[in-house]
Structure formats: C-alpha cells, structure tokens
Chains A and B, each alone.
Chain A
Amino acid sequence: MKHEIYFTLNHEKILHEVKANKTLLQMLREDFDLTGAKEGCGQGECGACTVLLNGKPINSCLVLAVEVDGKEITTIEGLSEGINLDELQKSFITNGALQCGYCTPGMIMTAKGFLNANPTPTLEEIKVAISGNLCRCTGYKRIIEAIIEVAEENQSKD
C-alpha cells in the first residue's frame, strides 16, 4: 500500500506517493534523482546519507520516507541557488576538502546543520560535530579547515 505524503523538498512543496518500506534515502535517490546523499553503511555509522530534516542533520537511511510527511527536507542539491554555491560548498572547494567525494555531500550537510545551530564553534566542537561522518581519503584535516573558514567568516560578521 502506498501512502500520500506532503512535504517540502529543497524549498519546494511536494505531494508524493511512497511505500511504507522505502527509506528517505531511497526515495530521494530513486524518485527524485537527488543522488547527492549516498548510501555508505546503511546503519547510521558513516553519515554519507546525511540530509537536513527541519534544519537538523539526520541519517536519511534510518528514516522512513513516510515519516517526512509535513516536514522540511534539504539535500546538498538544495544548498546552492542555481550556479551560486553555498559558502560551505565554496570553502570545501577552495580548501581542497575532498578526494573521492563520496562522503562530501553528507559532510557538508552535517556541517551546514551544525553551523546553523552553532555559527562560531571551537575546533573541538567541529571535530565532535563531524564524528558521525566517515571520510576514508582525506584524514579530515582539510575538511576541518574548510569548516573553520566558514566559522571564521561567521565570527567576522558578528
């Protein structure tokens, strides 16, 4: 049986039908071609599937699609406006904060949700915040630098 859900996806109101046993991640990738969020472990360990649910980072592999009825979902595709990238996306590029790129959408969405809640974090807070996102290439150094750069920009805006 399919369920009708009404939710906001990347700032757009969506009415959609979905089966109960489909995860949010499957729905985003298969029904909406939003392939930024990735399945890594499928168990909430790696964070590659991270998207924002009502502004907070969550593992989309551990949420049923039917559960987002009435909610707001933002994926990496919803961060940029046309060709204008979000400041975090720009910072990841200028800092070279990626190699294979598989973890990057999840890493950026985690950082986005984190910086929304805590715009000027300490280094230690950043490390803890991204501890649910595994990167097997970079050793995290440049990822952390990219996030620090945005945090410092936030600080200078204060």
Chain B
Amino acid sequence: MKGFKYYKPQSLKEASELLKEYNGEAHILNGGTDLIIRMKENFLHPKAVVDIKHIPGLHAITFDKEDGLRIGACLSLGTIAHHRDVVENFPIIADSAEVVGSGQIRNRATLVGNICNASPLADTATPLLALDAEVIIYSPNGTKLISIHHFFKGVRKNCLNVGEIVTGIKIPYSKNLKGAFKKGSRRQDVDLSTVCTSVVKINDEIRIALGAVAPTPIRGKMAEAFAKGKNLTHETITEIAKIAVAEASPIDDVRSSKEYRLHMVEVLVTRSLEELKV
C-alpha cells in the first residue's frame, strides 16, 4: 500500500473541509473493507484518507413510524442485520445486510459504505431502491436528502460532490410491508451476487428492484406497472417475471454469463412473488 496522510476529524465540517482541501484526492474511510483492498491492489492511491468513524452522531439507528428508519453512516452491517428495529419493521434490510461478505467483513463494513461504492451488485442497494429510501448528505451548504433513485450514477459512481459526506439512510415506514430479498451466487456464503433481487408488497402495490443486471441497481418499473391491480395468480407472476427480465441488461463476466443472469432474474422474481402472494 502506498503512503497517504491519515486524518481523524471530529466533526462533519472538519471532514468536509479536508475533502475539499484535497480536491478529489482524498478518500473517506469508513469500514474500509473495500477501500483498503482497492488501495492495496493499487486501483486507488489517495493522497489522504479521512476516517469518519470518530465523528459523533454517525453511529445511531433511530426508528419511529412517522419518520421511518434512520441508519447512521458508521453502523456495521452486522449491527444492522440484528438490530431489533430493523428486524421487526424492515426484515428485508436485515436479510440483505446479513449476506454481505463474511461475519468478519460485516463487523467492519457499513450499509452506507456499500451504497457509496455504487457497485451494481451491492446487496443492500435493492431493498433501499424498493423501499424508496433517501440518502442523507452533509454538504458545506447544509444537509440535504436525495432519493436513492438519483444517488447511483454508474458503475462505482455516485452523485456526491467533493466535500459531501453521506451521514445516513432514511427509509419510510409502511405498516403492511412484506418483502423478499434473494441472492443468487456461486456459493452460499462469502460471495458476490451473481444476481440479487428485492421484491416488496406494500398493501396491493408491488415493487421490484434488481441488482447486478445493469450499470446500477435498478427498479423494474414496467413489471411493477403490469402488476398493478392484478391478483398474483401463477400466470400473472410468470408474466411479471418475464417483463422484469426484459428490463434487465446484464453483462457476461467472471461470475456468470449474461444469459444465466437473465434466467436468474426470472427465477428469483418468480420465487419472491410466490412467497409474497400468500
């Protein structure tokens, strides 16, 4: 690993000023499970690393029915996956957090880090898309909320400007939420998703989010529109899954062929809807 300056700011303002001072050549360090690998392998060599874990206020989970769930930037995936408010009200978030990497990784890696990496296959991205989550961003001009639908800009590209820091995620609460998170991977544990899906049912509304099948995680809007107002019969489910496949545009890579990914979309969406219809 090449040398870099290490900073441990005590406030968001201080962290933001450091990031601006280095004008794109400093990197935020949170859990580090992606950043340190990328630095070791020379994909990244920032001049400075800004560790945000000592900034107060980034380690909290709060929940109430009005405000929804707020997950602080520095909470580990392991903590999130077992947190009572998450497990009871947003089990699909807990399920997606529980399948990232290994136990050791989940003790360091964070949900906000998973999102900021903007990997097309980020396991926690699809439930956030399906639940219309908002990203809470500190910017030098004040705090702003950006819809998760506008956060991802491409493979490993997010919408943050230099000096902006994601401080948390806000997820609206729905009383009648049912959800299914599915991950298809080469082996069951400690693997990246070949395809991952989140399908949720809120009252009669169906929402479908797909991971690892496009440059960013996506929503299957056409499939959702088709599902609107329909009973989830076997025939309808088959049709919804076929439309979702048509919305995916996966690539071939080391984990899978494009054709296999398309087939996985159909299988995972079908299984999810079969679970949710009862």
How many pairs, one residue from A and one from B, have CB atoms within 8 Å of each other in the complex?
86
Contact across chains for A45 and B190 when beta carbons are under 8 A apart: yes
B 227-267 contacts with A by CB, 8 A: none
A133 contact set on B, CB distance < 8 A? 102
Number of interface residues of A (CB under 8 A): 31
B2 contact set on A, CB distance < 8 A? 21
Contact across chains for A131 and B4 when beta carbons are under 8 A apart: no
Return A3 CB to nearest CB of chain B, in Å.
Answer: 6
Closest to B33 in A: A62
Q: How would residues 15 to 46 of chain A score, 1 for a CB under 8 Å from any chain B CB and 0 otherwise? A: 00001110100000000000000000011110
Contact across chains for A53 and B102 when beta carbons are under 8 A apart: no
Return A39 CB to nearest CB of chain B, in Å.
Answer: 11
Taking chain A's interface residues, is the majority helix, strand, or loop, or is none over half, making it mixed? Answer: mixed
Closest to B35 in A: A62
Known: A19-B3, A21-B1, A44-B37. A110 touches B104 (CB 8 A): yes
> Which of A1, A59, A67, A69 is B104 in contact with, Cβ under 8 Å?
A59
For the complex, give the distance between the alpha carbons of A19 and B189 in Å: 34
For the complex, give the distance between the alpha carbons of A92 and B8 in Å: 40
Known: A57-B104, A132-B104, A132-B105. A20 touches B36 (CB 8 A): no
> Which of A1, A42, A50, A67 is B40 in contact with, Cβ under 8 Å?
A42
A56 contact set on B, CB distance < 8 A? 78, 107
25 contacts across the A-B interface (CB closer than 8 A): A1-B5, A20-B6, A42-B40, A43-B40, A44-B37, A44-B105, A47-B102, A47-B104, A56-B107, A57-B104, A58-B104, A58-B107, A59-B104, A62-B36, A63-B36, A63-B108, A64-B6, A66-B6, A67-B32, A67-B51, A110-B103, A110-B104, A114-B103, A128-B189, A131-B189
Q: Name A's B-contacting residues (CB within 8 A).
A: 1, 3, 19-21, 23, 42-45, 47, 50, 53, 56-59, 61-64, 66-67, 69, 110, 114, 128-129, 131-133
